[in-house]
Structure 1
Amino acid sequence: MTSSDVIIGTRRLADELLRIGAPVPSLHPFGRITIDFSRLRTRFPFMLITPQWQVERLLLRRAEEAGAAILRGVRVTGIRQDADGVDVDVSYPDGATATLRARYLVGADGAGSTVRQSLGMPFPGKSAIRSVMLADVLLERAPDEPLNFASNEHGFTFFAPFGDGWYRIIAWDRQLQLPQDAPVTLEEVRDITERTIGDDLGMHEARWLSRFHSDERQVPRYRQGRVFLAGDAAHVHSPAGGMGMNTGMQDAANLGWKLAAVVHGWAGDALLDTYHTERHPVGRRVLHVSHARGISGIAITYPAPCGSHPLTGRRVPDLRLAGEPARLYEALRQGTFVLVGREAAAVASPWAGRVKTAAPATGLRPTLLVRPDGYTAWAAEDPDPAEVRRALTRWLGEPDHHAA
């Protein structure tokens, strides 16, 4: 898994994905190098292969349990914003129209984003590769590797198992560059497979076939007034490496807690500007590495003020904690900050409801203030209570002086 292991792990979704997915402990792309995931600093030191719809199903369930209202088939047709909020024009499946109003709007509506277009936001970049075929197929013979990638002068094929006998194939035929809306046949996929790996693997049934082109594009700004862009609405890139969904989920995790902080009144509007500051460089990096088979976001860091502790802005592993909950990611489940330190509870009590406190199970020396998205907001070696209070005030606003 990539950097989204923080999100999935903290929201009690990882266990179910592990039951239905196929773990891959290492990769051997091109047959010449080995990528060993066991060395990653995560409780999930492997790549987990599972259909995207399974991840979407679990995230949908989580959103509904949290009280989110999901409106299906509703289409945004335009937006307008003023100093106090955003008006969103929508059309419903039955033809009815309405205007919805909110304090903020997040456009996560894909590569063809209506929200982005309504803002007049440019989407500079280029088309990297055209007429790529996608197929879910049954095979009589499994590829040599769980994740099999082969390329030559004819094109390339990539196989990933779903764990239930079906395989996802991404294939490109250099000699057959058809329009994106041209139908895909099983014969086309079988033919390029045989020409790239020398065997069609007994491919005999397809349950889904499509064609797409891969662009590399990114908006110049992730925020315009009260409107934000996230996921494919903000950046698109090669599907190689599977970083698209992970990057979009990290966008949402980064922006979500910041919006909550501002809406609840304990952070100022300037906090929302850090969404662009932190995530735009990540999107730019993904554009550069995805086509070169970059596959992990665990090493992603965010800018830290000069003189900060070295852990500031870095992803925090799933630390073991003393007492309950037993792990950091469990403590993050409610979407609050977590202060990890020996004397954390007494110092943080005036910020109750905004931060949870925990003591490390091992001899962890630094005191850590962990953001809801699993990154270190602040850290210090053996800080005094006044230092901790200053950090809490900076990140969580003024304390509640009436709290115990």
Structure 2
Amino acid sequence: MEFNANRVDDANAVITSTISKDVIEANLDKVAKQAAKTMDIQGFRKGKVPVAVVKQRYAEKLREDAEGEALRNVLSLGLAELKIANEDIVGEPAVSKYEKQDNGDIEIEVKLACKPNVDLGDYKALIPAVEDKAVDSEAVDARIQEMASSQAPLKKIARKRMVRDQDHALIDFEGFVDGVAFEGGKAEKYPLHIGSGSFIPGFEEQVIGMKYDEQKDITVTFPAEYQSKDLAGKEAVFKVTLHEIQEKGEAEINDEFAAKMLPGEEGATVETLKAKIEEQMKAEAKGTYYREELKPAYLDSLVETLNFALPGSVVEQEVNFALNNKVRAMAEDEIKALQEDAAKIESMRDELKEDAEKSVKATFIVDALAKAEGVEVNDQEVTQVIYYEAMQMGQNPQDVLKQYQDAGYLPAIKMSMIEDKVITKLLDEKLGQ
């Protein structure tokens, strides 16, 4: 068997081989003998089926298995020759050539993508300057006032008038689609905050102007992406009755309120609450600062400075992903023009390649940073984040997790979490210097 294994560069390799007909036939005999031990064919006792009969009946399938075994053997020999461990292979090996010759030999070429060796050098020297983000005391007071307002009780307005924006309207409602009431579309004495955007678009605006004890039909259309597929995109009529208009009472900010807002804090006071809110707002400001300014700048600097080979197949996948996204946003006539001119598609691929290479490069840099800094994210942490975000959106966490699993999003979510964790660690260290 002719065999050759070469590294194109640090992240790519090519294995070529000519598998002789004799090797295929020997494999064929072996897989046929193995199959004969377990096959149940009428007229023969189980385990006593002649190999010749097995070969005759299942010739095509057995030959596929024999060729597959030969290909796996070539790959195994190639990896050993190149000293590449299985865990260092990125994606699946690509069989770029598989030609059967007239004499029964098979010529093959297999392309491999490997994890590149990323030399980070003095990566900490590239970390940008980090400022400590202060929070204005007025902003802290405004946040506490907002919290107090949300906790203040609702009370009926002193005089009767029509509903205005930002009022709290106490209403009964029942929804109908095509004249039929639907599940979950009915409530009594419901306190609706007008302008909150908590109802279907267009509903709250039509409550404005209603008077006490007025009954009104409100027509709206459910969003196309509405969570209930039975209602998504459909027009609905809500029969609404206004009982009263309510407004928030006075918001008292005192130690009692502080204790309510900090249930685990013993002896909480307004000053304690202010300190906690200031700390929280500083963390929020720092997170935004890191995420929107420092992290992109640091990654761009690393991508620009560090040089290493990239796995070709991974870059190709990234280009395909970007191309598909671009095509989805095109009009029908633009897509038709692309289908009629392959050169335009190749031109688009060339335009997208540079950004694809930068994205792939950044991914391997983050992976190397995480190893250098001992940063890890386990599957349980990923699940917890997905659960938390799903609950925040009022969605079923298990359904969202399964959705992400089926779509293959979990590795990308995990990598994003690792990126945030390791770069935040580095920026925090810089801030503390």
TM-score range normalised by the length of the shorter chain: under 0.3
Q: TM-score, normalized by length of structure 2?
A: 0.18
Rg (Cα) greater in structure: 2
Return the structure number with greater helix share.
2
User: Normalised by the size of structure 1, how large is the TM-score?
Assistant: 0.19
Higher strand share: 1
